[in-house]
Copies of this chain bind each other. A is one copy, B any other.
C-alpha cells in the first residue's frame, strides 16, 4: 500500500529535470499550500490533457477554436511566424514583442526519423499563404541542422508565391560572453556580421 505522499513524489519525479529530492520538496509545497491550490493544480493537469486541441488555423494547442492568437483583431495578419512546436510559440510570446500571427508545424523535417513534409502542418500553411493576406513569413525554427533545413525547405515554397521569407538571426546570445560561445555559434556570428 503506497501512501499518498510517496505516490505524489514518484509521479512528480517522472517530470523532466525533477529527481526524487526535488519531487519531495514540490510535494511538501503542495501539501502546505492553501487547499485551493491543490484543487486548481489537479484540475489544470487534467484540463491540459482533456481540453486542449490544435487550432484549426495555426495548429497551436488551444481550448477555443480559432485560438486566442488567430482571433485577436489587434495582431498583424500580414506577418506570420512559423515555429516547430507550441512551446516555441510560448517562448516567443513571453518576450511580448511579436505582434503578428503564428503557424505551428508540430515538428521539423527529419528524414532519419521518417518526418517528411507530409508529417508537418505544411499543406495548411500553404493554404493560409494562398489567401493573400500574409506579406512576410518569419521562419523561427531552431538554428540547428534540422531547423535550418526546414526553414530552407519552406523558403523554397514561400518565395515563389511572391511572399517574403525571413529567418531569425543567430549569433552570440545577448549578455553572453564571447569567450564561452561555441565555435559554430561564433562562426555564424561572424558570417552574419552587419555594417554599423
Which 10 A-B pairs have CB atoms at the shortest separation, nearest pair first? Answer: A4-B47, A42-B42, A8-B44, A38-B49, A42-B45, A11-B41, A42-B46, A7-B44, A4-B48, A4-B51
Q: Give the interface SS of chain A, mostly helix, strand, loop or mixed.
A: helix
A173 CB contacts on chain B under 8 angstroms: none
From residue A84, how far is it (CB to closest CB) to chain B in Å?
Answer: 13
Interface flag for A115 (CB, 8 Å): no
For the complex, give the distance between the alpha carbons of A64 and B9 in Å.
18
Closest-by-CB residue of B relative to A94 is: B20
Q: A-side interface residues toward B, CB under 8 Å?
A: 1, 3-5, 7-9, 11-12, 14-18, 20-22, 24-31, 33, 35, 37-49, 51-52, 61-64, 67-68, 86-87, 90-91, 94
Closest-by-CB residue of B relative to A49 is: B38
Q: Are A64 and B11 in contact (CB under 8 A)?
A: no
Q: Are A30 and B42 in contact (CB under 8 A)?
A: no
